[in-house]
Amino acid sequence: MEITDMSNPNIYIPYQMRIEKITPEAPGVKTFRLKFIDEQDAAAFTFKAGQFGEYSIFGVGESTFCIASSPTRKGYIECTFRQVGKVTSALASAEEGDIVGFRGPYGNTFPIDEWKGKNLLFIAGGIALPPMRCVIWNCLDLRENFKDITIIYGARSVDDLVYKQELEEWKNRPDVKLVTTVDPGGETPDWKGEIGFVPYVVEKVAPSAENTIAIVCGPPVMIKFTFPVLEKLEFAPGNIYTTLENRMKCGFGKCGRCNVGELYVCKDGPVFSYEQLKLLPEEY
Amino acid sequence: MNELIKKAASLLEANEVQVVIGYGLVSTKRPQVIFVTTPADCEQLMFDSRCIQNLAVYLTKEEVKKLGKPAIIAPLPVLRSIVQLAAENQLTEADLVVLGIDPDGKSVEFGSLEAIESFLSDHKIVIEEKYLKKIEEIRNMPVSERFSYWVELLEPCFKCYACRAACPLCYCNRCTVENNQPQWIPVASHPQGNLEWHVMRAMHLAGRCTDCEACYHACPLGIPIHLLNKCLLQDLSENFGDYGPKATKPNMLSSFDPNDKESFIW
Amino acid sequence: MVVMRTENYSIKKPSIEKLFDNLAERGKTIYAPKNNGERVLFQKIKNFGEMAGDYLVTANSAKEVVFPRYEKVFSYKKTEDGILIDDPADIPFPEVVLWGSRPCDAAAFIPLTNIFEQDYTDNLYSNRRKNLLVLSFSCDTCDEFCFCTSVNGGPGNTAGSDILFTKLSTGDFLAEIITEKGKKVVEENPSLFEASPTEEKEGNLAKVETRFNQDEIQAKLHELFEDPLWAEKSRACLGCGSCVFVCPVCSCFDIQDEAHGSHGTRLRCWDSCGFSLFTLHASGHNPRPDQGARWRQRILHKFRYMPDKSKVAGCVGCGRCSRSCPAGINILDTVTAL
């Protein structure tokens, strides 16, 4: 007799989301605000800062992005992506009102509860601000839980800075210190921020390591140069967090492709502490 | 073989080459491809009828090129591939030392590509009788039967791409199937995906394939995919002349001669 | 699954064929070793006569019965009102019999189940596994590529099988009933199974030489990440998927969409960690940029990561990878060199 066990949902079937709003951020970079088409899905959905999902255009394929909006804001999720390949090109051609598939939330989360009462230093580069934006807003929405908050963000050029609107908001908040930088040569004549690569700027303006958690996100090369700077500034590796990216497909630890050593970025990450990373090979 | 071992060792000794690509019986009765880098290790080199891998595939591989200038053990199929690779500008005479082995197992030294070509003209590609019979049989099938024949033949294929990996002439850094904008060939190994892959590969090799049968020997499921290549080889030779390869003559399908037959066009 | 105490029966040679016929008559889909050109492959067969005779192990593995080379994970249709999605798990999966697997083939279902049911349950796999009956046959010979005894396996191992048949010197078979599913087979074919034989199983099994100690290898692999042996042992590797696709345990996959106008499917297809594109980022960065890094991943995944996590290695010692490698690479050469 055939057995068909329906107790588990089909883990490959995505939620259907409608694109509510598209915001162009930078050349080739867009932000989508997505709403669940099914209201029951919307009501039941929860996630935590640091998690990601698989976003898809039906018939084209799936792509991995973090959830860039904060879990404190209900009713929608946001993602930001750069057009680089087949799926992101199809996403980039989508219009408000179109349907996008979303599988998630996957991955582990930033241990925000452990950071209560501490200073926070967020460091991000280029297109890696989206995963940080989620945790930044999460912390800002719970502002009273934390002491000083500093954000250092850099991109290749002024045009490449994403979330320009948000950067203005953060700049104008008295309870946040924002430092923006562009790579040498990327500045415009009226640029008032720093000029220099992110690791260099971190060394220059970072607050004291005492009672401070550092959260870093950027392309592999930026992360690799920022960690030594933070160590030099006496940040303990256990107090430095990052979120890794790797080639992902399934998002739930079965397709075998995203592992860094024995840990899967999709299941045991994407959030890792520098202490953890030191024990892993550089396979990311 | 002893002659070759001595020659290989002396080449390494004099640092004229930095690696010898050959066959060895490392741990089982199945010959493996080995890369010898010291004169003493040349003792591991061997050659007999069990050595069916086409070593020329390693001449375009980055991890091997990094080792330096190679000497390569070259039985007939390897010799043909070397000439074809030279014809396609993938290597020059000065890039390697060829340690040839003739069909009787005797070692032959080649000082130049010309010398190899002249040797090969005495050992032309011959499609075996059993394959010629099969090709004739296929030609006589009506189109729909022929289509079903190929689909059924390729059904067990699971697209491991061992055929592509083992073929010395599949050296593209990014194969057509590895492009997804657009996805020319579907990834899945359903009948359509299989057919498209093998037909595309055969077409990309038409006029270049030297009938070394490495693709067939590489296939873990023993599918006679080389039959498709042989059909094209036969078609081409009937319409455009000899079976390949010539270092100085351009590929059959990428060149035009006013004397080419046109009877099949109209 | 409740662990049952193994029950032993004897079954005569003609009754084995009768058992096959009974299963076929009941409409079950049967996968068994079949001659295909020069190889023996697991394929669907309808008659006992189609089965291959003398063979050691098939060229392909049996994993297709639970993990097909491509599988529809859902299909969709774009309509004016939105997108309709069809779940393949809504349609009952057929009952499948795997006949003629070797102990190594059957043992592979354990790491496969670990992968597909850990944390998130892949119910496409689960349903196929639940509907699968595994009737294995012990090995009375082996060749130099076999090494099941080095990875906690053996020529008469019962792990993963519902019934294990062992040919005895009399020509009859010992039938070990391992699971409830196996017991049901006996209940449905009572006339075929007789009293337990007196002959010992051991004497009828191949002697498979132990080539390495799995625990030692697992420990050693914690240290050798930067070792030059990875580049050396993989120099001949051509980066195809042969070893991965014939392996009974390998289960890495790709997810691909195929669109046909307004409808289409999302598929899960086999993939190989040996392919150069496997870990390639869209930015062009590749964490495993050369074949040495990819070969290291294969060995580490099978012999360290998987047993570290779930006590079971990702290798059953069937030797298919070494037999099928176009370049002749033998996995034992690497593992024993550690």
How confident is the model over C176-193, as pLDDT tens digits?
A: 999 999 999 999 999 999
Q: Whose CA is closest to B186, among C71, C244, C257, A58? A: C257
pLDDT band at A1, cuts 50/70/90?
A: low
Instruction: Please give the average per-residue pLDDT across A205-224, as a whole number.
Output: 91
pLDDT band at A220, cuts 50/70/90?
A: confident
Q: Which of C145, C234, C290 sits opposite B28 (nearest CB)?
A: C145
The whole-number pLDDT of residue B262 equals 77
pLDDT band at A249, cuts 50/70/90?
A: very high
Measure the CA–CA gap between A123 and A215, rounded to whole angstroms. Answer: 6
Q: Which tokens is A271 given? A: 């959030």
- Chain B hits for A61, CB-CB cut-off 8 Å, are 180
Measure the CA–CA gap between A192 and C27, rounded to whole angstroms. Answer: 77
Tell whether the model's pLDDT for residue A219 goes beyond 90.
no
Measure the CA–CA gap between C232 and A193, rounded to whole angstroms. Answer: 50
Instruction: Please give the average per-residue pLDDT across A202-212, as a whole number.
Output: 93
The whole-number pLDDT of residue B248 equals 74
Put simply, the answer to whether B223 touches C246 (Cβ < 8 Å) is no
Residue spans of alpha helices (H) in C205-256: 214-220, 229-233, 242-246
Q: Which tokens is B223 given? A: 């599918």
Put simply, the answer to whether B64 touches C269 (Cβ < 8 Å) is no
The whole-number pLDDT of residue A25 equals 92
Matching residue, tokens 């020059």? B92
What stretch of H or E contains C258? strand C253-260
First to last CA, chain C: 37
| 3 state SS of B204 | helix
Put simply, the answer to whether C287 touches A284 (Cβ < 8 Å) is yes
Measure the CA–CA gap between C44 and C30, rounded to whole angstroms. Answer: 6
The whole-number pLDDT of residue B255 equals 80
Cis? peptide before A270, omega within 30° of 0: yes
The whole-number pLDDT of residue B240 equals 80
The whole-number pLDDT of residue C73 equals 96
The whole-number pLDDT of residue A6 equals 60
Instruction: Please give the average per-residue pLDDT across A60-77, as a whole number.
Output: 94
Instruction: Please give the average per-residue pLDDT across A193-204, as a whole number.
Output: 93
How many beta carbons lie within 10 A of that of residue C184, not counting itself? 14
Measure the CA–CA gap between B114 and C180, rounded to whole angstroms. Answer: 71
Buried b / exposed e along A15-44 (16+ C-beta atoms within 10 A): bbbbbeebeebbeebbbbbbebeeeeebee
- What pLDDT digit, counting tens, does each position of C15-49 carry? 999 999 999 999 899 999 999 988 999 999 999 99
pLDDT band at C2, cuts 50/70/90?
A: low
Question: pTM, whole model, 2 decimals?
Answer: 0.94
Measure the CA–CA gap between B71 and C75, rounded to whole angstroms. Answer: 53
The whole-number pLDDT of residue B244 equals 66
Could you tell me what percent of chain C has a pLDDT over 90? Answer: 89
- What pLDDT digit, counting tens, does each position of A105-152 carry? 999 999 999 999 999 999 999 888 999 999 999 999 999 999 999 999
* Cβ contacts of C6 within 8 Å, gap of 6 or more: C158, C176, C177, C178
How many beta carbons lie within 10 A of that of residue A2, not counting itself? 10
Compute the half-sphere exposure of residue C121: CA atoms within 13 Å on the CB side of its CA.
12
| 3 state SS of A13 | coil
Report how far apart, in Å, the C-alpha atoms of C133 and of each of A2, B86, C51, C59, C162 are. Answer: 11, 55, 18, 21, 6
Could you give the domains of chain A?
A: 15-106 (2.40.30.10), 112-243 (3.40.50.80)
What stretch of H or E contains B144? helix B143-153
- Chain A hits for C266, CB-CB cut-off 8 Å, are 12, 56, 58
Measure the CA–CA gap between C188 and C28, rounded to whole angstroms. Answer: 14
- Chain B hits for A249, CB-CB cut-off 8 Å, are none
Determine contact: C272 vs chain B, CB below 8 A: yes
The whole-number pLDDT of residue A108 equals 95
Measure the CA–CA gap between A69 and A47, rounded to whole angstroms. Answer: 10
Count of CB pairs separated by less than 8 Å, A with B? 7
Q: Are B99 and B74 in contact (CB under 8 A)?
A: yes
What stretch of H or E contains B110? strand B107-110
- What pLDDT digit, counting tens, does each position of C287-299 carry? 999 999 999 999 9
Q: Which of B32, B160, B193 sits opposite C329 (nearest CB)?
A: B32
The phi, psi pair for A62, rounded to 5°, reads -115, 155
- What pLDDT digit, counting tens, does each position of C250-260 carry? 999 999 999 99
Could you tell me what percent of chain C has a pLDDT over 70? Answer: 99
Return the domain boundaries, chain B: 2-121, 129-254
Cis? peptide before B182, omega within 30° of 0: yes
Matching residue, tokens 């098939």? C58
Q: Whose CA is closest to A41, among A53, A23, A57? A: A53
The whole-number pLDDT of residue A2 equals 61
Instruction: Please give the average per-residue pLDDT across C207-214, as a whole number.
Output: 96
Report how far apart, in Å, the C-alpha atoms of B81 and of each of A145, B75, B123, B168, C55 are. Answer: 70, 10, 14, 7, 35
- In the predicted model, residues of chain B with pLDDT beneath 70 are 243-244, 266
Put simply, the answer to whether A255 touches C271 (Cβ < 8 Å) is yes
Q: Give me the DSSP letters along C24-35.
A: HHTT-EEEEEEE
Put simply, the answer to whether C271 touches A257 (Cβ < 8 Å) is yes
Measure the CA–CA gap between A180 and A150, rounded to whole angstroms. Answer: 11
The whole-number pLDDT of residue B250 equals 74
Length of chain B: 266
Paired strand residues for A54: A64, A103
The whole-number pLDDT of residue C88 equals 87
First to last CA, chain B: 54
Determine contact: C259 vs chain B, CB below 8 A: no
Length of chain C: 338
Measure the CA–CA gap between A79 and A65, rounded to whole angstroms. Answer: 7
pLDDT band at A180, cuts 50/70/90?
A: very high
The whole-number pLDDT of residue C90 equals 79
- Chain A hits for B180, CB-CB cut-off 8 Å, are 61, 85-86
Subunits with 3+ C-beta pairs closer than 8 A to B: A, C
Query: Sheet holding A61-66: strands in order across?
Result: A61-66, A52-57, A99-106, A15-26, A29-36, A77-82
The whole-number pLDDT of residue C158 equals 96
Tell whether the model's pLDDT for residue C239 goes beyond 80.
yes
Q: Which of B53, B159, B187 sits opposite C327 (nearest CB)?
A: B53
Give the angle subtended at the CA of A31 by the CAs of A25 and A32, to the nearest 5°. 155
Instruction: Please give the average per-residue pLDDT across A58-70, as a whole number.
Output: 96
Q: Are A10 and C74 in contact (CB under 8 A)?
A: yes
Measure the CA–CA gap between A133 and A58, rounded to whole angstroms. Answer: 27
The whole-number pLDDT of residue C262 equals 95
Give the ipTM: 0.94
Put simply, the answer to whether C41 touches B156 (Cβ < 8 Å) is yes
The whole-number pLDDT of residue C136 equals 97
Dihedral, C133, C134, C137, C139 alpha carbons, nearest 10: 180
The whole-number pLDDT of residue C3 equals 63
Cis? peptide before B39, omega within 30° of 0: no
Determine contact: A56 vs chain C, CB below 8 A: yes
The whole-number pLDDT of residue C102 equals 97
Q: Whose CA is closest to C31, among C134, C124, C128? A: C134
The phi, psi pair for A271, rounded to 5°, reads -85, 125
Q: Whose CA is closest to B162, among B138, B181, B189? A: B189
